[in-house]
Amino acid sequence: MTKQAWLAQKYPKHEERMQRFSTVSDMEVEPLYTPEDVKGIDYERDIGLPGEYPYTRGVYPSMYRGKFWTMRQFAGFGSPEDTNQRFKFLLAEGQNGLSTAFDMPVLMGYDADHPRALGEVGREGVAVSTLDDMERLFDGIPLDQVTTSMTVNCTASILLAMYLAVATSRRCPGARWGARSRTICSRSTSPRRSGSAHPNRRFASSPT
């Protein structure tokens, strides 16, 4: 029996619990897949081996058989010293990566002493305005052993440069440290309603 025949004759006799099934990317999931659906696929070109382009089977050859996924708890509040203490606690409890929460002035491109930052410094994340702040934030943390995620958009490149400067000052080899950040400014504007980088300013952003 072909897929088309099965869908026409067998499947309609059993009702589905939902009208539509889809992935988190809203790609519709069909009730049945057979070799008919992969007739045009070239294995090496479209699927490949683990750790090889196009990475449909994972970015590393051994994936989770070789290393567990990184566990990070979103953390950041108050001063760099406050968050540094929290980072060290999380690492001591078994966390193997860091996820940094920055306060609203950082997200919107303002230093902590800017008038528009009044009342918001360190409230919803850690306050970082200078390279010295970044150095104190990661003081005593082995950057060659821990990867860091920084949840920030508009000022991502600036903070990533600060992180790089800290790693370089510690003579941490580039191949040994890892950090990531986002540069999706629209994410701060639409879902969070916080702000977006103003086109007429280099670093600051205008609130929505």
Sign for the pseudo-dihedral over CA of 40, 41, 43, 44: positive
Co-location of 126 and 148 in the same domain: yes
Tokens of 36: 């008919």
Co-location of 98 and 151 in the same domain: yes
Radius of gyration from C-alpha coordinates of the chain: 23
Q: How far apart are the first and last CA of the chain?
A: 58
Co-location of 44 and 145 in the same domain: no
Co-location of 78 and 102 in the same domain: yes
pLDDT, tens digit, 9 for 90 and up, residues 123-160: 989 999 999 999 999 999 999 889 899 888 788 889 99
Three-class DSSP category at 80 = helix
Co-location of 61 and 134 in the same domain: no
Window from 23-27, 41-45, 158-162, 176-180 with minimum mean pLDDT? 176-180
* Domain that residue 159 falls in: 70-208
Q: Can you tell me the mean pLDDT for 36-51?
A: 92
Q: Return the closest-CA partner of residue 154 out of 126, 185, 130.
A: 185
Rounded CA-CA distance 128/103 in Å is 8
Whether residue 202 is predicted with pLDDT greater than 50 in this model: the reply is no
Co-location of 177 and 134 in the same domain: yes
The model's confidence at residue 192, banded by pLDDT at 50, 70 and 90, is low
Co-location of 63 and 76 in the same domain: no
Task: Specify if 7 maps to a domain.
Answer: no
Tokens of 63: 């994936």
Q: Can you tell me the mean pLDDT for 163-170?
A: 92
Contacts of 13 (CB under 8 A, 6+ apart): none
pLDDT, tens digit, 9 for 90 and up, residues 1-29: 899 999 999 999 898 998 899 999 999 99
pLDDT, tens digit, 9 for 90 and up, residues 56-112: 999 889 988 887 888 889 999 999 999 999 999 999 999 989 999 999 999 888 999
Task: Specify if 25 maps to a domain.
Answer: no
